[in-house]
A = this chain, B = another copy of it.
Amino acid sequence: MKTNIRTWLAPILALTASVIISFSAAAQSDPLPSWNDGANKQAIIGFVEAVTKPDGPDFVAPGDRIATFDNDGTLWVEHPMYTQLAFALDRVKALAPQHPEWKTTQPFQAVLEGDMEALGKSGMKGLMEIIGVTHAVMSTAEFEKITSDWIATAKHPKFDKLYTALVYQPMLELMDYLRANGFKTFIVSGGGIEFMRPWTEKIYGIPPEQVVGSSIVVEYKVIDGVPALMRSPKIAFIDDKEGKPVGILTHIGKRPIAAFGNSDGDYQMLQYTTTGPGKRLGMFVHHDDAEREYAYDRKTHFGMLDKGLDDASKEGWHIISMKNDWKQIFPK
């Protein structure tokens, strides 16, 4: 009987297979590879295991496994300014040639001259004027095209990367992990709902119908026989602070069992989520990593976390340290 090469190879193949299998088992045993081991990672895993254990005391039916995520500062960068504000300022500059009067009219002059102090002084009235010309008096289809074109090309001033590349890798893993365990994930953001929808599915795996955000008034019009949804320069809903639980009711109709934010704008969402019956999880992302991202909390115009830091311990909310809890900030 000849020694067959297959006979010789068999144990090697078996060994290879077992290495592959144990490697994949190891990967499965760490669903959050970008998170350092520690109390926060354990809190997430412990929560998910508790609510998914079929005969456990904390079991939650899959349909009720609702997790909500703030966007700016929780899923992607929000400094040096909210991305949507960067879009609005860029848009004013792009439209300026058609509006020579803006050179001497506030708040547009401030935008064109990069005078952030004068822009700040124009206040809410100035902001509404900017929203009026950059976000409204057009159809939702036109707005989708403008925002999609911008997000596909505009780059962040510090990192020189597309904004959609500046999403937090650990949070992407967290959303995947929750979905793999039967959760439905929703964005609940103060940002404009139609500003986010064109790209959230590709970047976060969250489809348009699971995006909750602020909105302006939209009206259905039939223009020359063609139906269009026209955007008006009038605020319909602000999905921030007390607005977040209301937005959750309107769009989801169920109380979340887990909520993730990073600022006092998310305080009520965490409060509404974690005061419900049964096991709950509330977490704030704390921007304390000046080197790899930014460091800010109580004193900032964008994403202030003050009362949330004071009350976290009392409310049982976890503070995620970007610096200590995250091995990696952005996808590689």
Question: What is A's interface to B at a CB cutoff of 8 Å?
Answer: 63, 140, 184, 193-194, 197, 201, 207-211, 215, 218-220, 222, 226-227, 229, 242-246, 249-254, 268, 271-272, 275
Contacts and interface: CB of A to CB of B under 8 A. Distances in A.
Given A208-B252, A209-B210, A209-B253, A246 B222 contact: no
B253 A211 contact: yes
B207 A63 contact: yes
Contact of A220 (B208, B209, B229, B245): B245
Contacts of A249: 140, 218, 229
Contacts of A207: 63
Contact of A246 (B63, B229, B275): B229
Residue of A208, A250, A252 with most chain B CB atoms under a 10 A cut-off: A250
Contacts of A268: 220, 227
9 contacts: A197-B253, A208-B254, A218-B249, A220-B243, A220-B245, A220-B268, A227-B271, A227-B272, A229-B245
Which A-B residue pairs are the 6 nearest by beta carbons? A208-B253, A220-B242, A220-B245, A197-B253, A209-B252, A227-B272
A217 to B, nearest CB: 9
A140 B249 CA distance: 9
A319 to B, nearest CB: 21
A235 B197 CA distance: 27
Nearest to A217: B246
A38 B252 CA distance: 38
A204 to B, nearest CB: 14
Contacts of A218: 246, 249-250
Contacts of A197: 253
